[in-house]
Structure 1
Amino acid sequence: MRGTLFVVAAPSGAGKSSIVNAVLARDPQIRLSISFTSRAPRPGERHAQHYHFVPADEFQRMIDAGDFFEYARVHGDWKGTARQSVEPQLAAGHDVLLEIDWQGAAQVRAKVPDAISVFILPPSREALEQRMRHRGQDSEAVIAQRLAAAREEMSHYAEFDYVIVNEVFETAVDDMCAVFTASRLRRAQQQTRHGGLIAALLAPDA
């Protein structure tokens, strides 16, 4: 049984990574695809754990070779999902989660129409700015750039299947877990998963 591809996107500072990490700790059936990026690591980030960090020229070589499932230029840097990070896991029956931006999500939907997508919104623009500053990782110029981009990013929420407002963190985590659980209970998935049971239940009496 082929796995389901999930896409999660949000503006910078909306809490996407924190929610995703909490969901991964709770749901062992989800596998996170580690993205490639051309930007430098931030404090505390590790290669092959948070991202695969590669030089811009190496990222371009991968683009030219068709190695990416999706890719986009975000805040001046490249980000992308390599095919080898996704297709083998889906084929093995594992659900795969892509933590990407709206541009990458659009590319994924074009290639995998049955992918399930979730967009995370902050409870207010003030909260978004406060979260960006609280990280203490970016300069004022970078924060201003990200705030300017956030409104454009959030305008694409309607392209997604589900929308979660991250006002109370634990509630947002519960909501995302509910999306994953509900997707596994869809009729097509259950017919494949429990085909023998359904056939036995519907068999005529001897």
Structure 2
Amino acid sequence: MEWAEFNGNLYGTPLPDHQGSTDLLLEIDSQGAHSIKKLFPDSLVVLLLSPSEDSLRERMRQRGDDEAHIDARVRLAKKEIASAREVADYEVINLDLDRAVAEIASMIYKARESKSRGGDIGRG
């Protein structure tokens, strides 16, 4: 369904075997989001964001990443975010996991309702 090369490795998502009534939840990069929107224009794309660059850096430090690696990842993240915003229907700040999950669940519910009435999922 989509694939991307990252650090010399290929990553991808195979086309699922489903009947069209199944919801699919994919964790993909911006290139994957563009591919999905092209293949499935009615899909709901949610961009999940870190609360801030500082919190993103701190998460990586806690994982043990060195500063050079963190700097490179943050530069890449900024490019990814800019690209993903081109196709994202909604953005969610992941400050609190339970709240982020609830927001996304609400978006999915609203998209299903709109689609069942023949409407567009819209952009948030």
Q: When the two structures are superposed, what TM-score results if normalisation uses the length of structure 2? A: 0.82
Q: Does 2:35 align with 1:114?
A: no
Name the Cα RMSD after superposition.
Answer: 1.9
Gaps of 5+ in 1: 1-68, 192-206
Give 2:14's aligned residue: 82
Q: Which residue of 2 aligns with 1:164?
A: 92
Map of 1:23-172 to 2, 5 A cutoff?
Answer: 69-83=1-15, 86=16, 88-89=17-18, 91=19, 93-136=21-64, 138-156=65-83, 157-172=85-100
Deviation at 1:75, TM superposition (A): 3.8
Look up the equivalent residue of 1:72 and give its one-letter code.
Answer: A
TM-score, structure 1 length as denominator? 0.51
Paired residues, what number? 117
**Which has the bigger relative contact order, CA under 8 A and spacing at least 6?**
1
Aligned to 2:113: 185
Q: Which has the higher strand share?
A: 1
CA distance in 2, matches of 1:152, 1:103: 11
Q: Determine which structure has more spread, i.e. the larger CA radius of gyration.
A: 1
List gaps (5 residues or longer) in structure 2. Answer: 119-124
